Amino acid sequence: MMMRETNLPTSQLANMASFGEECGIFGVYDHSEASALAYHGLFALQHRGQESAGIISYDSSVDRFYQRKDRGLVNRVFKPGDLGVLKGRSAIGHIRYSTTGEDNIVNIQPVMVDCVKGTIGVAHNGNLTNAAELHAELRSKGAIFQTTLDTEVILHLIASSKHKDLYDALEETLQRIDGAFSLLFITDHSLVAVRDRHGVRPLVMGRLDDSVVFASETCALDLVGAKFEREVRPGEMVIVTMKGVASRRFREAAAELSRCIFEYIYFSRPDSILFGRSVYEVQKGLGRELARERPVPADVVIAIPDSGNAAALGYSRESGLDFEMGLVRNHYIGRTFIQNTQLAREVGVKIKLNPVRSLIEGKRLIVVDDSLVRGTTSKKIVKMLKAAGAKEVHLRISSPPYRFPCFYGVDTPSPEHLIASRMSLKEIEQYLEVDSLAYLSCEGLVRVVTGGEPKEGVHFCKACFDGDYRIPVHSLREKGKGALEKK
C-alpha cells in the first residue's frame, strides 16, 4: 500500500534507468466516439497512474492525427471540448504513475512520431531490460533522444529497420527488445496491440458493437460497456485494420510465463479479471490463506482501507472472527491541506483515517493490509489504534516481504527504503510496535494465485519477493540504483 509514497529521483534526459513506470493503456479502433471511449477507459485505469494522461486519435476522413496530453489526472488533463478536438474513429490513450519531483512534460505518453514508416503513435506499459544497450547502439548511429522513455528506443528501431513494411519492421523490433511490454500502436490505417513473450503486464481485448477495444484491465472494458473477448497473448501482435483482426506471433511465448504477481496484490482494481481470475477473489483468497498460515487469537479483523479490504474479508471468513470497518476514510482529503502547523504534525494519519473507537477499545485486533513497503504509514496507524484503546494489534500482510526492486515496469523504492530489506521480522515488529506481524508465504501466495493447480508452463514473476529475475535484466542489476544517475 505504501508504495505510492515512493520518492523517485528526478528524471533526467539521457538517464536511461528511469525508464518505465506502472501505467495504464487503452485503445479503440473504428468507433464513432473513439476519443470519448479512450477518455473513459483512462478514467477507469486512473489507479494505475496519476502523473499524466494523453490521447492520440486519428481521423481517416481528413488523414490527420490529433493529440492532447498533459500532467495531471484524467479529468484535469481533458477539458470539456477537448474530446471534440480529438476527432476520428480510432484512438489510443495512456496514463502514468505519479512520481514526486518529476515535472517534465517531454516524458508524457502516448508518444507520436513521424518517420519513414509513416506516423506512429504508441502507448507503453512495462519496462525494457535491454533499453540501455539499444539506446547506446542507436545513439552511436546518430539517433537523438528527446525523452527518457524506453518507448523512444522502440520507435527508433522501427524507423531504422531495413524492412520496408511497417509490420515487418515492428516484428523485428519486438524481437530485439527484452523485458516487459504491453504496447498499443496507432497508425493511419490500423491499431496494433502487443504483449511481450513473458506476459508480464496485462493487456486485454474486448468488443463494443463492431469495434475492437484494448485495455490494461477489464474494469476499463466494463466502464465503456465493451465485452471482454480474450487477453492479448504473450508474444502476440494483434493488428486491427478495416479488413478485420489479424494475429501475428513475433516470438514464441516463453516456456514459463512471468506474469506479474504483484498486479493481483496491489495494482489491479478488485473488479478486474486479471490473467483469467477475479482480482477480488484472489485477494480474498490471499486473506484466507493468511488466516490458515498465520492464525492468532483475537477479537476482530479490520482492514487498512481500501487496500486491505478483500484480504481482511477473507481472513475473517477463514478465521471465523468478525470483520469490522474499524477505520473510516475521509473522502475530502486533497493536496492543499495546510501542513505547516504543529497541530498538523500531531494530527498526522488521522486526517485520512479515523478509528471507530467502539470497535477498537479493549479489543485484540487483526489488522490486514496488502503489502508493507516502507512501513512509515503503518507505524502511524498502529500508534493511532493503540491510542484508541486497542489491547493488541496483530498486523497481517497478504503478501510476502517486499524486498527486491522490480525491473519490469514498476517504480520501486531503492532497497534501503524497503523495510523488509533493512530489518528482520523481529525488528520490524519492534519498529511498528505491533504485538505480532506476519506475512503470507511465497508458497501460499502461489497456491492462491494458481488456484492450487499450477498449470505447466504457467509461471508468475515474484522477483520482488524472492529476487528470482527470470527475464534477463542485462545491465540494470549491476548498475543498481546508481544507474538512475547520469553516467
Residue 330 makes contact with a copy of itself by CB under 8 A: yes
Q: Of 86, 313, 372, 434, which lies in the binding site for a copy of itself, with binding defined by CB under 8 A?
A: 313
Encoded one letter per residue, x for contact with a copy of itself by CB under 8 A and - for no contact, window 118-147 reads: -x-------------------xxxxxxxx-
Residue 61 makes contact with a copy of itself by CB under 8 A: no
Q: Of 30, 60, 73, 415, which lies in the binding site for a copy of itself, with binding defined by CB under 8 A?
A: 73
Interface positions, 339-358, toward a copy of itself (CB under 8 A):
339-344, 346-347, 350-351, 354-358
* Angstrom distance (rounded) from CA 50 to CA 165: 36
Nearest-Å Rg of the Cα atoms of the chain is 23
Interface positions, 441-470, toward a copy of itself (CB under 8 A):
none
Residue 72 makes contact with a copy of itself by CB under 8 A: no
Here the cell at position 394 is 496483530
Residue 64 makes contact with a copy of itself by CB under 8 A: yes
Residue 226 makes contact with a copy of itself by CB under 8 A: no
Minimum CB distance to a copy of itself, residue 334 (Å): 5
Here the cell at position 436 is 505480532
Task: Give every CB contact of residue 35 below 8 A, 6+ residues apart in sequence.
Answer: 55, 57, 83, 86, 87, 88, 91
Q: Provide the 10 A C-beta neighbour count for residue 368.
A: 29
Contact 377, 2 (CB under 8 A): yes
Contact 123, 108 (CB under 8 A): no
3-state secondary structure at position 349 = helix
- C-alpha distance across the termini of the chain, in Å: 32
Q: Of 30, 70, 133, 229, which lies in the binding site for a copy of itself, with binding defined by CB under 8 A?
A: 70
Residue 23 bears catalytic tag: yes
Range 267-281 burial, b when 16+ CB lie within 10 A, else e? bbbbebbbbebbbbb
Indicate the angle between helix axes 309-319 and 279-293, nearest 10 degrees: 50
Nearer to a copy of itself, 191 or 282 (CB): 282
Number of residues that bind a copy of itself (CB under 8 A): 106
Applying CB under 8 A, the span of 192-200, 332-340, 365-373, 436-444 interacting with a copy of itself comes to 332-340
Minimum CB distance to a copy of itself, residue 330 (Å): 7
Interface positions, 184-223, toward a copy of itself (CB under 8 A):
219, 222-223
Q: Provide the 10 A C-beta neighbour count for residue 456.
A: 7
Encoded one letter per residue, x for contact with a copy of itself by CB under 8 A and - for no contact, window 246-285 reads: -----------------------xxx-x----x-xx----
Q: Is 297 exposed, middle or buried (0-12, 13-18, 19+ CB in 10 A)?
A: exposed
Minimum CB distance to a copy of itself, residue 309 (Å): 6
Supply the residues annotated as catalytic. Answer: 23
